[in-house]
Amino acid sequence: MGFWSRFFRDKLAVTGLIMVAIFFILSIGAGLIAPYDPNLIDVNNILESPSIAHLFGTDELGRDVFTRMLYGAGISLKVGFVAVGIAVLIGVVLGAVSGYYGGWVDILIMRLVDIMLCFPSFFLILAVIAFLEPSIFNIMAVIGLTSWMGITRLVRAEFLTLKERDYVLAEKTIGAGSLRIIFIHILPNALAPVLVAATLGIASAVLTESALSFLGIGVQPPTPSWGNILTQGKSVLGVAWWLSFFPGMAILLTVLGYNLLGEGIRDAIDPRLRG
């Protein structure tokens, strides 16, 4: 039974894929789907409850929450993809070098990983952001630069096994260079666990971005993100429950979707890992 057959037999994995696909489509189609301008202020409709005119209600400035949620989806998912892309790039390169060369190179890289893991990642992000101007680009970079350690360990473990395979030894025998062996012959066979880690990492990055925006040091208003919409709802929770409920549910469903998808990919790649 192939990968796709195993994947589509897993109902939870397919559910995760559908959830991720829905949010992805909504985010890229926000400009076509959204009924209003996300920053349009309407003082005549301040804190309106959900209705046909405003599906998710309005905020304290009369802005349509449904519209801001759609645009916020694009921001949150963009942060997730770019941050994970940075983490994967760093993790794959360091893990490949560490696992292939071994010796003092391996020791040096692994000690760097251990040092980075000594710091709680969220507080490390907070410390770095405190010295930078809060912006979406800084958030992407900081999350990516503080979340590559797990991928490095995964790739290193794969390389330690794969570099002893017969086809690698044969390449060395005919004089193939180290870069060719690493990137052409070993790396493609080591990417399966990286794909799983990247999928789960997107969920973590979305959650981190939302938390930073909620604290006021992430994506800055008036740019909408799920985290800063939650922040707006905090002060009016008693009279405008929708400002907290809808972005909270969006974050929950997105993280759940990516987690289900990641676990489904993991089980389809290696059914022996199924818990």
CA-to-CA distance for 159 and 121, rounded, in angstroms?
Answer: 26
Report residue 137's pLDDT band, with 50, 70 and 90 as the boundaries.
Answer: confident
Q: Establish if 143 belongs to a structural domain.
A: yes
**Segments forming the whole domain that contains residue 173:** 3-38+51-273
pLDDT computed for residue 220 by the predictor:
81
Q: 274 pLDDT exceeds 60?
A: no
Q: Establish if 122 belongs to a structural domain.
A: yes
- Domain total in the chain: 1
pLDDT computed for residue 1 by the predictor:
59
Q: Establish if 142 belongs to a structural domain.
A: yes
Question: Which residue is it, tokens 């969220």?
Answer: 122
Among 73, 35, 65, residue whose Cα is nearest residue 243: 65
| Tens digit of each residue's pLDDT (9 = 90 or more) over 194-209 | 988 999 899 888 888 8
Q: Which residue has the higher pLDDT, 177 or 243?
A: 243
Q: Establish if 138 belongs to a structural domain.
A: yes
Q: What is the CATH number of the domain that holds 116?
A: 1.10.3720.10
CA-to-CA distance for 246 and 68, rounded, in angstroms?
Answer: 11
Q: Establish if 44 belongs to a structural domain.
A: no
Q: Which residue has the higher pLDDT, 246 or 270?
A: 246
| Tens digit of each residue's pLDDT (9 = 90 or more) over 140-196 | 888 898 889 999 999 999 999 888 888 888 888 887 788 888 888 888 888 888 988
Non-local CB neighbours of 252 within 8 Å, separated by 6+ positions? none
For the full predicted model, state whether its pTM sits above 0.85. Answer: yes
Reported residue count of the chain is 275
Q: Establish if 46 belongs to a structural domain.
A: no
CA-to-CA distance for 101 and 238, rounded, in angstroms?
Answer: 60
* The 3-state secondary structure of 148-166, one letter per residue: CHHHHHHHHHHHHHHCCCH
Q: 114 pLDDT exceeds 70?
A: yes
Q: Establish if 45 belongs to a structural domain.
A: no
164's tokens = 């002893």
Q: Establish if 55 belongs to a structural domain.
A: yes
